[in-house]
Amino acid sequence: MSVRVLASFEPTTEQKVALGKAKRLEWLTLLALGSIIPLMGWAMGGSQSMKTAWIEDLLSLIPPVAYLVSDRFRQRKPDTDFPFGYHRATLIAFLTASVALCSVGLLTLYDALTTLVQQERPTLGAMQLFGHIVWSGWVMIPVLAYSALLPVILGRLKREVAMELHDKTLLADAATNRADWLTAVTASVGILGIGIGFWWADALAAAIISLDIIRDGITHLRGAVSDLMDRTPTEVDKEKQWHPLVTRIVEDLEALEGCTKAQVRLRDFGLYLTATVFLHYRGVSSESLRREAVGLLQDYDPELHNSVVVMVEASEFT
């Protein structure tokens, strides 16, 4: 067989537990949204800010669906067609999600701004509940509170799992969930503003929520792009800081007898990192040094897996 496929990776027990948790949380998210979305649709009436919040909730269906659908895909073992494996399938979904979020966010922002410029006044009328006439604002606000409650809780739980799994896209999903409280408060303030008589309050709130949607899109984008571009692995939630293994591997390898320089290229495969090491050596047998280096790298398993060592004979000029 001329195509050498990447050795498949078996997740550790902890990773399997975390993966199971992540799946359950994403299913719960879908259930939660299944109750929130119809409720918001019923209550939103003439409020543009609430409609924008509703749209944001509709869009937040995409990440869980992307995660659950790609989950099957991701576990597939590498084959000759895809020798590097399938783990990047999710990133494509998140990239699409971020494009959707950014474009819809821009659309709703445009809508909100034109409403303000044209000085359109939103009519928030009455609703009939159990035979009583109630101002629709008093229905909208509790519904908004409910719409934030579950996503915020789920978002926090998802963040913990995402940190454990070193999964940027799950982290992005958690972040957007947690930000739902801001949307609910903004829309509520907008509606109360209408109640007080500030006709522009609702459209202004809608504009702010649109900015939040755009920000959600960018969050997802950053999570996906650095992986798709094979960026040097960073801490999961701190983009500026490289993963500690980057420097540790070089230090450990350069400590080996005969190694003059070690250069490393690390790649993030989600559940593990993989290294391409260029080992510059002089004065020792290349094969014995290589074996030592491979043994050293294996000590990092399961954090580091599937690494490749390239021996470079050093001359006086390197």
Instruction: Rule CB under 8 A: choose which of 198, 230, 288, 301 binds other proteins.
Output: 198
- Cα–Cα distance between 249 and 309 in angstroms, integer? 12
Cis before residue 302, ω within 30 degrees of 0? yes
Q: In sequence order, what are the residues at sequence separation of 6 or more whose Cβ sits closer than 8 angstroms to the Cβ of residue 264?
A: 246, 249, 250, 253, 275, 276, 277, 278
Q: Applying CB under 8 A, does 205 fall inside the site for other proteins?
A: no
Instruction: Rule CB under 8 A: choose which of 65, 185, 245, 250 binds other proteins.
Output: 185
Task: Name the token pair of 300.
Answer: 């990092």
User: Which of 120, 164 has the CB closer to other proteins?
Assistant: 120
Q: Applying CB under 8 A, does 209 fall inside the site for other proteins?
A: no
Instruction: Rule CB under 8 A: choose which of 138, 242, 278, 300 binds other proteins.
Output: 138
Mark 96-135 with x for binding to other proteins (rule: CB under 8 A) and - for no binding. ------------------------xxxxxxx-x----x-x
User: Which of 21, 282 has the CB closer to other proteins?
Assistant: 21
- Cα–Cα distance between 206 and 28 in angstroms, integer? 27
Q: How far is the CB of 206 from other proteins (least distance, A)?
A: 15
H helices of the chain, in order, are 13-43, 48-59, 62-74, 89-117, 136-165, 168-178, 180-196, 201-228, 245-254, 286-298
**DSSP letters along 145-163, please?**
HHHHHHHHHHHHHHHHHHH
Q: How far is the CB of 76 from other proteins (least distance, A)?
A: 38
Part of the chain binding other proteins (CB under 8 A), chosen from 54-62, 152-160, 204-212, 234-242? 152-160
Instruction: Rule CB under 8 A: choose which of 73, 82, 181, 300 binds other proteins.
Output: 181
**Residue in 103, 59, 69 with CA at minimum distance from that of residue 89:** 69
**DSSP letters along 198-260, please?**
-TTHHHHHHHHHHHHHHHHHHHHHHHHHHHHTTPPPB-SS-TTSBPTHHHHHHHHHHTSTTEE
User: Which of 135, 300 has the CB closer to other proteins?
Assistant: 135
Q: How far is the CB of 265 from other proteins (least distance, A)?
A: 42
**Residue in 185, 140, 149, 132 with CA at minimum distance from that of residue 42:** 140
User: Which of 25, 141 has the CB closer to other proteins?
Assistant: 141
Q: Applying CB under 8 A, does 306 fall inside the site for other proteins?
A: no
Q: Applying CB under 8 A, does 182 fall inside the site for other proteins?
A: no
Q: Applying CB under 8 A, does 194 fall inside the site for other proteins?
A: yes
Task: Name the token pair of 198.
Answer: 């500030």
Q: How far is the CB of 124 from other proteins (least distance, A)?
A: 5
* Distance (Å) of CA 19 to CA 28, 33, 150, 225, 271: 14, 21, 21, 22, 10
User: Which of 191, 289 has the CB closer to other proteins?
Assistant: 191
**Residue in 23, 197, 208 with CA at minimum distance from that of residue 112:** 208
Instruction: Rule CB under 8 A: choose which of 59, 141, 161, 297 binds other proteins.
Output: 141
Q: Applying CB under 8 A, does 63 fall inside the site for other proteins?
A: no
- With H, G, I as helix, E, B as strand and everything else as coil, classify residue 135: strand
User: Which of 13, 119 has the CB closer to other proteins?
Assistant: 119
Instruction: Name 224's bridge partners.
Output: none
Q: Applying CB under 8 A, does 197 fall inside the site for other proteins?
A: yes
User: Which of 103, 123 has the CB closer to other proteins?
Assistant: 123
Q: Applying CB under 8 A, does 52 fall inside the site for other proteins?
A: no
Binding site residues, other proteins, CB under 8 A: 120-126, 128, 133, 135, 137-138, 141-142, 145, 149, 152-153, 156, 181, 184-185, 188, 192, 194-199
